[in-house]
Amino acid sequence: MQSKKSPSPSLHEKKEVDDDQTTLVNLFEDGSVDPVYEAKALLLNRAVQEIGMGRYQWYLFIVAGFGWFADSVWPLLSGLILAPVVAEFQFQGPFLSLAINVGLFVGAVFWGLGCDIWGRRWSFNVTLLIAGIFGLASGGSPDLLTLASLLAVLGIGVGGNLPVDSAVFLDFVPGPSQYLLTVLSIWWSIGQLFVNLIAWPLIANFSCDPNAPAGTCTRKDNMGWRYLLFTLGGVTLLLWGLRFFLFHLEESPRFLVGIGKDEEAVAVLQRIATYNGRTCSLTVEQLVKAGEQARQTTGITEEETKTKKHFFSKSSAYSIEHIKALFRTPKLAWSTTLLIALWAIIGLASTLYNNFLPYLLASRGAKFGSSSYYIAYRNQVILSVLGVPGAFLAGWAVEQPYIGRKGTLAISAGLTGVFLFASTTARNSNALLGWNCGYAFVSNIMYGVLYAISPEVFPAKDRGTGNGLTATATRVFGILAPVIALYANLQTAVPVYVSGGLIIGSGLLALLLPYEPQGKASL
């Protein structure tokens, strides 16, 4: 297959055409991506499209989904076990939330930026292992300090899942199937449902009475949260085992091309094509020739492409260029800045709402009708179920004309803010549950699109770094929310109004994103 145009036209005019004559417009404008890498990446895109959406990609959809599952389950944990842990250890303040958010922040930085340095495979295979080991160990915690410390280390593993797994998945799927990155949020919804279904019987049946006098809750009467940690740790280790032993993840061809390993990149694509029962016509000579033509056109010498420091090994290149590349042109810089702002705003707003909801209920005089763990976790299960159809609706919406990724993100964020405002009117448990059902449904759509559009608009050789920057933003602001809760005593609905306003504002920001990935091939 040959491109319809010579290497010289501007990038927004270039198109990729596969055997079925499916046409995809290149996402990035001229000059926004390193020209040598871009020339080779265009060939890789055509090769991946030639291979098609086969067995390898569908198996990857499953094992990459384990990362979404873990990212859903573990951050929820601090809230799920908070009441019984407080009853046993007698402390005040959101220390568990703070501990796990600090770990998630470190994990997002380390693994997100790291997978552009030493590759995707190592990060992909280690993050779940860390989460499983320390999740299992945290169930035996004898005191609050031990529990918080283990959850923080667990967070380091979990924090790397989405930045790495989304980069891995997008590197292997053909352009027309990129919408599946949005549908991957189904695993996030399944994780929510699973953890709440497990927590419901364990916490309700093996915990101290929530109305018991302070200081009377002992370990032997309060094993429910420990059983939950043991169960989730074991399940996470099982998922890691399935991912590590039953699925062989190939290194990303785009990463390999980005560090000059053209031969290995072609070999990977040939193996995947064989696995899918297809053929791949890409050759090393084609990649080399494309790179040489790009150098001649732009005047870049081959030596200039090799002036990078090495980190950990000679096969891994470390350079500040991974960050600088995300701000290469004004348009790309605007896109990167907006995405970081979106993640930061939504991270702060959603965490603020969850932290201050008890204050809202108290100040508004809401009547729960029952303060039992049974009712509380039953309601959580109901909310979790609504995330499943939300994921499929998001996958459908992002492919619709005139809506796309940006429109779906803007609409779902706006509705999420509306339901937050509406929750302030709740005066009883049923009203609160109803408004939260709406919030759970549309917020799952919002997160599904946000998780997908971010890696789509980052070039693959810098995608881990871009994912790491956005994940870091949401983790940093996620840390701020429990810090605010430590020192604030707000007995009004103001925090919820602020949260709703922030999320609606983020929806408006989404409309300003300069790139719309719908129908365009990510590099």
pLDDT digits (tens, 9 = 90+) for 402-419: 899 999 999 999 999 999
Mean pLDDT for the chain overall: 81
* From 50-64, 129-143, 478-492, the region with the lowest mean pLDDT: 478-492
Q: For residue 60, what pLDDT band results from cuts at 50, 70 and 90?
A: very high
pLDDT at position 4:
38
**What is the residue type of 121?**
R
Coil vs helix vs strand at 117 = coil
DSSP letters for 180-244: HHHHTHHHHHHHHHHHHHHHHHHHHHSS--TTSPTT---GGG--HHHHHHHHHHHHHHHHHHHHH
- Over residues 17-27, mean pLDDT: 49
Q: For residue 351, what pLDDT band results from cuts at 50, 70 and 90?
A: confident
Residues above pLDDT 90, as percent of the chain: 32
Q: For residue 363, what pLDDT band results from cuts at 50, 70 and 90?
A: very low
Report d(CA 373, CA 379) in Å as an integer: 10
* From 132-136, 237-241, 483-487, the region with the lowest mean pLDDT: 483-487
More confident residue, 399 or 302: 399
- Residue 338 reports pLDDT greater than 50: yes
CB 30 within 8 A of CB 10: yes
- Over residues 498-516, mean pLDDT: 91
Report d(CA 423, CA 410) in Å as an integer: 20
- Residue 63 reports pLDDT greater than 60: yes
More confident residue, 56 or 176: 56
Report d(CA 170, CA 379) in Å as an integer: 35
pLDDT at position 315:
42
Report d(CA 467, CA 170) in Å as an integer: 12
- Over residues 487-514, mean pLDDT: 81
- Residue 189 reports pLDDT greater than 80: yes
- Over residues 144-156, mean pLDDT: 93
Coil vs helix vs strand at 456 = helix
Task: Outline where 457-513 has alpha helix (H).
Answer: 463-487, 494-510
**Residue 376: count of CB within 10 angstroms of its CB:** 19
CB 127 within 8 A of CB 243: no
CA distances from 321 to 9, 11, 300, 442 (A): 25, 21, 16, 37
Per-domain residue ranges for the chain?
55-249+327-518, 255-267+276-318
Question: What would the two tokens of residue 82 be?
Answer: 């908070």
pLDDT at position 66:
94
Q: For residue 356, what pLDDT band results from cuts at 50, 70 and 90?
A: low
* From 8-17, 218-227, 418-427, 478-487, the region with the lowest mean pLDDT: 8-17
pLDDT at position 215:
74
Q: For residue 138, what pLDDT band results from cuts at 50, 70 and 90?
A: very high
pLDDT digits (tens, 9 = 90+) for 28-53: 777 777 788 888 888 998 999 999 99
**What is the residue type of 479?**
I
More confident residue, 233 or 96: 233
Q: Which of 183, 196, 220, 191 is nearest to 88 (CA)?
A: 220
pLDDT digits (tens, 9 = 90+) for 267-284: 999 999 999 999 999 999
Domain 55-249+327-518 is in which class?
mainly alpha
Burial (Cβ within 10 Å: 0-12, 13-18, ≥19) of residue 307: exposed
Q: Which helix (H) or strand (E) segment is 15 a member of?
A: strand 15-17
DSSP letters for 340-397: HHHHHHHHHHHHHHHHHHHHHHHHHT-B-S---HHHHHHHHHHHHHTHHHHHHHHHHH
- Residue 309 reports pLDDT greater than 60: no
pLDDT digits (tens, 9 = 90+) for 207-258: 887 777 777 888 888 898 999 999 999 999 999 999 999 999 999 998 898 8
